[in-house]
């Protein structure tokens, strides 16, 4: 893994803080993962509120290796429909393509979003939202 500089982390956090309030308006009230002011306890309470009137099932999804398999092209396509500023899109694209270090060798990253970044959880929710609303 390539460790981002303090400036890189600062920029990623800034992008996340600007995009999050915009995107939050579009996310499902039933979605709790990686969302501000939402947690697992609230998800359980909501599931219980659906069970009480007679529903029998609740769905908890943990997508294995999700961050590693996100299509960067699809994600950039989705973002380009929501973000008009090409400079922001360029920053996000460069961030996605930043690559990883394997041993002493650099490898480019053509799929996935870097884990541990403040922007990755928001980007993962954006791509999930779009995939769910198209079905």
Q: pLDDT of 15-42, one tens digit each?
A: 999 999 988 888 888 888 888 899 989 9
Contact criterion met (CB below 8 Å) for 111 and 58: no
* Cβ neighbours around 43 below 10 Å, total: 17
Q: pLDDT of 61-75, one tens digit each?
A: 777 788 888 999 999
Contact criterion met (CB below 8 Å) for 36 and 23: no
| pTM as predicted | 0.78
Give the pLDDT score at 63.
78
pLDDT at 106 over 50: yes
Give the pLDDT score at 2.
60
């Amino acid at each position: 893994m390539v460790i981002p500089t303090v400036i890189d982390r600062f920029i990623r956090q800034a992008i996340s803080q600007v995009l999050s309030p915009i995107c939050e308006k579009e996310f499902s009230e039933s979605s709790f993962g990686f969302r501000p002011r939402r947690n697992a306890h609230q998800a359980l309470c909501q599931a219980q509120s659906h069970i009480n009137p007679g529903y029998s099932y609740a769905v908890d999804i943990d997508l294995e290796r999700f961050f590693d398999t996100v299509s960067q092209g699809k994600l950039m396509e989705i973002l380009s429909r929501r973000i008009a500023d090409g400079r922001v899109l360029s920053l996000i694209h460069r961030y996605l393509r930043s690559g990883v270090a394997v041993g002493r060798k650099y490898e480019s990253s053509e799929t996935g979003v870097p884990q541990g970044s403040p922007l990755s959880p928001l980007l993962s929710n954006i791509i999930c939202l779009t995939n769910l609303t198209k079905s």
